[in-house]
Amino acid sequence: MGKSAFVFPGQGSQTIGMGRELAENYAAAKKVFEEATEALGFDIEAMIFDGDEETLKITENTQPAIVTTSVACLEVLKEKGISPDVVAGLSLGEYTAHVAAGSITFADAVKLVRKRGKFMQEAVPIGVGTMAAIIGLTQAQVIDCCEQAEKIGVVEPANFNCPGQIVVAGEVSAVEKVCETAKEKGAKRALILPVSAPFHCSMLKPAGDKLAVELDKVVIHDGEIPVIANVNAEYIKNKDEIKPLLIQQVSTCVKWEDSIRKMIDDGVDTLIEVGPGKTLSGFAKKIDRTLNILNVEDLTSLEKTLERLEG
């Protein structure tokens, strides 16, 4: 029997009503939404279940909403006796991974990511920065495109998601230039993403500095489950590394493809995406077709995953 990994989604996977089915059917999931409301001091449960897309899309709302929903899914799996050998999360999802590992409490994580969202949004005025997805080029080609566009402004690789899908971030004109150059190099697509800030690039350093102050108020524990960090795609060895890595993560590239390959090299053959959407499942399929890829976001996916795991 191979190992299993839980992976947790980042921003962009949010939808109104996410997690509702599990909350209505499992007390453990319901409790997570109630705890989030209590920790944040406003009714995030109502915002997630019955709010509007525009409000949920605001970064400082999106981040705690996704962490809350993902942890609700996690608690149901725990109740079913299913635990992972290793965890990781894409960007924001790394906080959920720490909750799963026991290194950060859920109440602390949900408060941290609300502030993280606020700081990330404030770091760059709206309209100054953006992100783009480059489809169909190698890492080296995208890095080359960024280097060529740096004459115009700041632009850097932000996410190495999976083979042929890389996200860049930076100043609008420089990102547009990367899209242009990428198409010349034969990219299948190069499209500007509907995001409000250039996440995971050096322009976000001020957000990391503010986040550092908040992280200092939080008690971090050694994890009970190995966590692979976005910044270096390596296992976090002890609790003292967690804060520096989370601070760095805001303004540096997310090495997601390398993180998944690391798990596979260490014997992971089952990957469970825990939380809203199937973005990470899609990436995983492109990284390694032989992986057993499952997800848990509602009752149907939960039942299917439990059946596959028991089978």
Query: Which residues are catalytic, by number?
Result: 91, 200
- Show the 3-state SS of the chain: CCEEEEEECCCCCCCCCCCHHHHHHCHHHHHHHHHHHHHHCCCHHHHHHHCCHHHHHCHHHHHHHHHHHHHHHHHHHHHCCCCCCEEEECCCHHHHHHHHHCCCCHHHHHHHHHHHHHHHHHHCCCCCEEEEEEECCCHHHHHHHHHHHCCCCCEEEEEEEECCEEEEEEEHHHHHHHHHHHHHCCCCEEEECCCCCCCCCHHHHHHHHHHHHHHCCCCCCCCCCCEECCCCCCECCCHHHHHHHHHHHCCCCECHHHHHHHHHHCCEEEEEEECCCCHHHHHHHHHCCCCEEEEECCHHHHHHHHHHHHC
